[in-house]
Amino acid sequence: MKNLITGGAGFIGSHLAEALLNRGDKVHIIDNLSTGSLSNIDRLTKNQNFSYTIGTIMNEKVVNKLIQDCDCIYHLAAAVGVKLIMEKPLETIETNVKGTEMVLRIANKYKKKVLITSTSEIYGNHVQHKLKEDDNRVLGPIKKWRWAYASSKTVDEFLALAYHIEKKLPVVIVRLFNTVGPRQTGAYGMVLPNFVQSALLGKPITIYGDGKQTRSFAYVKDVVKAMVELMGSPKTAGDVFNIGSEEEISINDLAKKIKKMVNSSSDIIRISYKEAYGKGFEDMRRRTPDVSKIKKLIGYKPSVTLDEIITKVIDYFKR
């Protein structure tokens, strides 16, 4: 198989490329390095089945050639991270919507299967239970910029399903819930690597808000394995799947756990969302997936516990 990964030099993209190469596939990535890094793919460049393009998915001529030459597309390129979303809402919307529309349009031209990576942010403030793919979405007001990302990814999902319904394009959508592991940085607001780095350096572990909000963290290798299996299944076209862990933890407890595991002297402090992000921010109180659908289809089950994930991230930053 010849795989194209957009955003392939990013945290998840580099692990996905590695997984595909390990099974003997060919992989080409395109990344503009806005949030990705060449260091993420350095080890892969020694593999003769790996190649890459430094460039933007907005370059239609380049993307057309890459899609024409591949068998399937993993579309990961997007504006991500709470910090980036709050600082550059226009870039977030344009990159996510325009970029995805072009990838889908060209993929349809050559009828190549596409996996669209979406997000748990889609569900918004829905907190009643573990989130199922067909649950209603509860988004905040327009002036809360946090929801620009969720809304842009919602448009991506509608576009993908529209191409499937009208054009018979084989697409599968995955909603990722807090994917974590080695190579992820805290530069764009990712909480777990930020806490680990602060604990290792003896700096304050900073919680935004009251810390009672809960999250569920999935190990990146479990996530990319599920993505590859969904892409390979003929039963997934035109459907949406949660990928994540059902092991739920509050941000307060996450900070305490990381401090203990590092044996850190760091203080745990709290600051307001306004102080962290300025005006226009609203957080979601709970974000835990129901993964029964993907479990039924491909037998998905996270193999790495939260404690094991944290240990791997600690070891990565120590190195």
* Catalytic machinery residues: 149
Q: Which residues pair with 240 in a beta bridge?
A: 173
Determine the 3-state secondary structure of 135 from DSSP: coil
**CA nearest neighbour of 303 among 131, 184, 181, 192:** 181
Please enumerate, as own/partner, the contacts of 51-54 that have beta carbons within 8 Å and a separation of 24 or more. 51/27, 52/8, 52/9, 52/28, 53/28, 53/29, 54/30
Extended beta strands in 146-225, E state? 171-176, 179-180, 205-208, 214-216, 218-219
Give the span between the Cα atoms of 298 and 214, in whole angstroms. Answer: 27
Kindly give the pairing relationship between strand 171-176 and strand 205-208: unpaired
Beta-carbon contacts of 305 under 8 Å, excluding residues fewer than 6 positions away, are 247
Q: Which residues pair with 26 in a beta bridge?
A: 2
Determine the 3-state secondary structure of 15 from DSSP: helix
Extended beta strands in the chain, E state? 2-6, 26-31, 50-54, 72-75, 113-119, 171-176, 179-180, 205-208, 214-216, 218-219, 239-243, 248-250, 268-271
Side chain identity at residue 175, one-letter code? R
Give the span between the Cα atoms of 233 and 175, in whole angstroms. Answer: 17
